[in-house]
A and B are shown apart, each in its own frame.
Chain A
């Protein structure tokens, strides 16, 4: 009996669930307990520790904020005489240091930006503002959009052939003609700098982690936290440390975009086969030569996929980074939305997606392009692209000069079409959106009322009504069943941090959003995945849809949700679902398509029909991989819930994280709240990953 119990996970789970329900029933909400004492504050104090733990860590955010501010502004100071003020001025050394980092980052962004669209700051850097005032001619002119587009088309053609060239050409022409060239290029300049820094950092950290096991062990948890921490929570730290502006936006973007690069570099290096390394050593490579001449080129594909991930990460941040001063198309989009100019916002959103698709396809084509080591090219073949580029440059500039005569004082369509002066369909779009919302209003109201009253509210009440002891028993119990005592302690540790903060009620609310999104997005995604895996062509189409949806910066998903559902929990869930569905679909398809054909043949020989094959062979074998997809769905949902705070009415952790953005003293709140969110993610990640790994081992798939 006991033996069968220790072996049957199902029985263990059943018992755990019974204990959990009993605890929920035993420990009821104390009389008069209100879930939020105040909008900004945390839990109400409860004397019943089984219901809520005391907020022993409530001092942490303020302490953190004070410490950072002290180090930043008061730690090491020197008095410097300021001629203008005619007085001594206290200067903080740490601040001067961080500001010089900002200055360097800003310099690169501005230089690229002004090469693309013109400006004076690059020249100011080498001279002074006074020089500019005296010499009004001193200004970078910027390139005509035709030249930049031509160069991008050429790049596309060389990397991915005719199709890619046409795609890139159309995307950039659209952006230029719709009068979004300047903000788009501002964004591109920021993305290029942030992405380059992320790639270099990522490579460096990845190599270091490959060379030293200790460093790998040190950096892995940090990467985990960095990838699960909501982007909002490190915006204010960046603002305090580096000041307001494009540089702060770029640095926040770097924090977000670097972790996948580290992981993929490490993965790439680890998967270099020992034979290759041996061959390198036999040819007498030094350590450095081995790394840069042998291993990195061999791991090229993984590394370039990393570059692709970095670029996508950077684009996902463009709207969010504008909250701390990044200019460009993200800022314009936020301003359009804040004035409820939905047509304009839609057009800007399309531009961001087009930039994302262009950069995504270009970098992927680069990753997939084989290097021809044996090509023996003539002089003209080797330099052909340079000649074409030169021709594009001269042609484009000439065209811009001709344009000056054709268009006179109006907009020179051959140079740079001024912001918002191009074609625009925003009036038509506004009318269209208006019509759409009017038509859908009645049915949506009914739907909204039903979903909220009968589905969301009961679930939310159930989540909030869980006594803390029951939550711990449930989560740690699952951890124990899945991964033994170690796992139980790990997830228990994550929970304890949240439970001792002042925000347990809010964390439960966040968990409620994630749970609902998981059920909807996970089941829909898995279902679509299963259906499309049955057919070669459907598989292809679904994967393309996944790719495209994934290039949309997360903020874009909020726009339709807010239009149709206004400020409500449903709007938040509607925004999360399509985004969180992506990994569920992708992993399901991958899992099913990768089932070994030998096993399927064996099944066919035993005479299984199609349904039996799916249910008894494919699904069980693919299940661990599908669970990894579900795990990613949780991570995507968690990230999106926090961004969903921009819709409002969530009353969860995200609402406070968003609030901390407006408060420089909120630096502590932002970080600790961010950690709470990260720990929810890491706890779930730990359980699902451990389970999938054990299961894959058991099935002999690993």
Chain B
């Protein structure tokens, strides 16, 4: 951590000479900005990237491991200052609930478009295990490919933990008329999802699993199933019949409502900050493909992409 700070300090000094002085603004409080780390690589690397940018601007930063849903309540209470990856489909509801209760503000949207959806690993398509995929209607004729020992003769949809989307997937299975052929099983965590993906690839078996992009699985290939298009209010929770896929979602940034006052310069930079799908993919790949630590990945990314993040800071 110290090394990262030192490197950034050196960079900052060099740049301060090279570029014009930062526009005058009320100084940021020296109290640390608290950044949460969750349990997927891109988020953790981005936490250190954003922390690095803040430190470069002379702020103090702290990192705290947090649950990705509960974090919004923590931001509301002021225990955490920001959350830099608000995925529409998974966290949109927690985010807006916290906003409605007061204390959380919307600090803008990343350029990256996201998708969180059921899909199949690349080999399922390559080896034509279920002809007709990724169109969802193909599922009607190949439930046997997705049967597991404990799925009771039905094809299995492996959903993330029940806390991620509640009953969304079971409702969708029923709404699409797949209820007789498919059953939804909830995994205990992301690790369980990847264990299943790895096992199915190794043994060339079928697997329908919840996944998202950008994610480190993009590198190995992953195909999302194309469900009927998402329209406003089509989900059962919103009054629809539930027979629709996930929206191409946004990736937002959240902050505690006090941040613009306590850290005006950092907040301005944070609200300008926007990463693309490719950039987020790069961050994840440094860890997941190249095997670097999260901190080192962030240091390297910051060093390699100064032209990307420098403009945010002034």
- Once the chains bind, are A646 and B189 in contact (CB under 8 Å)? yes
- Least CB distance, A80 to chain B, in whole angstroms: 13
Within 8 A of B (CB), among A328-359: 331, 334-335, 337-340
Q: How far is the CA of A335 from the CA of B194 in the complex (A)?
A: 13
Q: Kindly list chain B residues whose C-beta atoms are within 8 Å of the C-beta of A27.
A: none
Closest to B29 in A: A84
Q: How far is the CA of A41 from the CA of B171 in the complex (A)?
A: 13
Which segment, of A253-261, A478-486, A488-496, A565-573, faces chain B? A565-573
Q: How far is the CA of A324 from the CA of B36 in the complex (A)?
A: 11
Contact of B161 among A324, A457, A659 (CB under 8 A): A659
- Once the chains bind, are A339 and B194 in contact (CB under 8 Å)? yes
- Once the chains bind, are A645 and B170 in contact (CB under 8 Å)? no
Q: Quick one: which of A86, A340, A441 has the most chain B CB within 10 A?
A: A340
Q: Does B64 lie at the interface of the complex (its beta carbon under 8 Å from any beta carbon of A)?
A: yes
Q: How far is the CA of A452 from the CA of B44 in the complex (A)?
A: 38
Which segment, of B111-119, B147-155, B225-233, B245-253, faces chain A? B147-155
- Once the chains bind, are B41 and A339 in contact (CB under 8 Å)? yes
Within 8 A of A (CB), among B177-223: 184-192, 194-196, 198-199, 202-203, 216
Q: Kindly list chain B residues whose C-beta atoms are within 8 Å of the C-beta of A648.
A: 161, 185-189, 192
Q: B11-31 vs A: 1/0 string, CB under 8 Å?
A: 000000000000000000111
Q: Quick one: which of A39, A86, A95 has the most chain B CB within 10 A?
A: A39
Q: How far is the CA of A340 from the CA of B195 in the complex (A)?
A: 7
- Once the chains bind, are B199 and A38 in contact (CB under 8 Å)? no
Contact of B150 among A128, A240, A457 (CB under 8 A): A457
How many residues of B are counted as interface, with CB atoms below 8 angstroms from the partner's CB atoms? 64
Q: Does B306 lie at the interface of the complex (its beta carbon under 8 Å from any beta carbon of A)?
A: no
Q: Kindly list chain B residues whose C-beta atoms are within 8 Å of the C-beta of A647.
A: 187-188, 192
- Once the chains bind, are A85 and B203 in contact (CB under 8 Å)? no
Q: B225-268 vs A: 1/0 string, CB under 8 Å?
A: 00000000000000000000000000000000010011000000
- Given known A-B contacts A437-B199, A659-B163, A132 and B79 have beta carbons under 8 A apart: no
Q: Does B109 lie at the interface of the complex (its beta carbon under 8 Å from any beta carbon of A)?
A: no
- Given known A-B contacts A245-B79, A327-B65, A441-B199, A133 and B60 have beta carbons under 8 A apart: yes
Q: Quick one: which of B64, B70, B80, B166 has the most chain A CB within 10 A?
A: B70
Which segment, of A5-13, A197-205, A650-658, faces chain B? A650-658
Q: How far is the CA of A610 from the CA of B170 in the complex (A)?
A: 60
Q: Does A471 lie at the interface of the complex (its beta carbon under 8 Å from any beta carbon of B)?
A: no
Q: Quick one: which of B65, B161, B198, B262 has the most chain A CB within 10 A?
A: B65
- Once the chains bind, are A340 and B191 in contact (CB under 8 Å)? yes
Closest to A441 in B: B203
Q: Does A323 lie at the interface of the complex (its beta carbon under 8 Å from any beta carbon of B)?
A: yes
Q: Kindly list chain B residues whose C-beta atoms are within 8 Å of the C-beta of A338.
A: 39-40, 189-191, 194
Contact of B149 among A85, A339, A441, A568 (CB under 8 A): A568
Q: Does B141 lie at the interface of the complex (its beta carbon under 8 Å from any beta carbon of A)?
A: no
- Least CB distance, B288 to chain A, in whole angstroms: 6
- Once the chains bind, are A325 and B186 in contact (CB under 8 Å)? no
Interface of B is mostly: mixed
Contact of A562 among B58, B161, B185, B192 (CB under 8 A): B192
- Once the chains bind, are A663 and B191 in contact (CB under 8 Å)? no
- Least CB distance, B156 to chain A, in whole angstroms: 9
Q: How far is the CA of A443 from the CA of B261 in the complex (A)?
A: 62
- The contact size tier of chain A is 35 or more
Closest to B164 in A: A662
Q: Kindly list chain B residues whose C-beta atoms are within 8 Å of the C-beta of A339.
A: 40-41, 191, 194, 216, 287-288
Q: How far is the CA of A695 from the CA of B285 in the complex (A)?
A: 63
Q: Kindly list chain A residues whose C-beta atoms are within 8 Å of the C-beta of B65.
A: 322-323, 325-327, 331, 334
Q: Does B162 lie at the interface of the complex (its beta carbon under 8 Å from any beta carbon of A)?
A: yes
Closest to B169 in A: A39
Q: Kindly list chain A residues whose C-beta atoms are within 8 Å of the C-beta of B150.
A: 448, 452, 456-457, 568-570, 649
Q: Does A236 lie at the interface of the complex (its beta carbon under 8 Å from any beta carbon of B)?
A: yes
Q: How far is the CA of A563 from the CA of B196 in the complex (A)?
A: 9
- Given known A-B contacts A84-B261, A337-B191, A441-B203, A661 and B70 have beta carbons under 8 A apart: yes
- Once the chains bind, are B199 and A39 in contact (CB under 8 Å)? no
Q: Does A129 lie at the interface of the complex (its beta carbon under 8 Å from any beta carbon of B)?
A: yes
Q: Kindly list chain A residues whose C-beta atoms are within 8 Å of the C-beta of B120.
A: none
Q: Does A239 lie at the interface of the complex (its beta carbon under 8 Å from any beta carbon of B)?
A: yes
Q: Does A1 lie at the interface of the complex (its beta carbon under 8 Å from any beta carbon of B)?
A: no
Q: Does B280 lie at the interface of the complex (its beta carbon under 8 Å from any beta carbon of A)?
A: no
Q: A219-249 vs B: 1/0 string, CB under 8 Å?
A: 0000000000000000010011001110000
Q: Does A598 lie at the interface of the complex (its beta carbon under 8 Å from any beta carbon of B)?
A: no
Q: Does A173 lie at the interface of the complex (its beta carbon under 8 Å from any beta carbon of B)?
A: no
- Once the chains bind, are B195 and A562 in contact (CB under 8 Å)? yes
Q: Does A438 lie at the interface of the complex (its beta carbon under 8 Å from any beta carbon of B)?
A: yes
Q: How far is the CA of A133 from the CA of B188 in the complex (A)?
A: 43
- Once the chains bind, are A662 and B167 in contact (CB under 8 Å)? no
Contact of A457 among B3, B70, B152, B288 (CB under 8 A): B152
- Least CB distance, B294 to chain A, in whole angstroms: 8
Q: Kindly list chain A residues whose C-beta atoms are within 8 Å of the C-beta of B152.
A: 457
Contact of A40 among B41, B44, B166, B287 (CB under 8 A): B166
Q: Does B73 lie at the interface of the complex (its beta carbon under 8 Å from any beta carbon of A)?
A: yes
Q: Does B66 lie at the interface of the complex (its beta carbon under 8 Å from any beta carbon of A)?
A: yes
Q: How far is the CA of A129 from the CA of B63 in the complex (A)?
A: 16
Q: Does A111 lie at the interface of the complex (its beta carbon under 8 Å from any beta carbon of B)?
A: no
- Given known A-B contacts A244-B80, A448-B149, A456-B150, A133 and B39 have beta carbons under 8 A apart: no
- Once the chains bind, are A39 and B70 in contact (CB under 8 Å)? no
Q: A653-678 vs B: 1/0 string, CB under 8 Å?
A: 00110111111100000000000000
- Once the chains bind, are B32 and A325 in contact (CB under 8 Å)? no
- Once the chains bind, are B167 and A40 in contact (CB under 8 Å)? yes
Q: How far is the CA of A420 from the CA of B290 in the complex (A)?
A: 14
Closest to B41 in A: A339
Q: Does B77 lie at the interface of the complex (its beta carbon under 8 Å from any beta carbon of A)?
A: yes
Q: Does B122 lie at the interface of the complex (its beta carbon under 8 Å from any beta carbon of A)?
A: no
Some 28 contacts from A to B, beta carbons below 8 A apart, are A39-B162, A39-B186, A85-B261, A129-B32, A129-B60, A133-B60, A243-B74, A244-B64, A335-B39, A337-B191, A338-B40, A338-B194, A418-B3, A434-B202, A449-B149, A452-B149, A567-B185, A570-B150, A646-B189, A648-B185, A649-B185, A649-B186, A655-B161, A655-B188, A661-B67, A662-B70, A662-B164, A663-B163
7 residue pairs, one from A and one from B, having the closest CB atoms: A648-B188, A662-B69, A129-B30, A648-B187, A340-B194, A659-B163, A662-B163
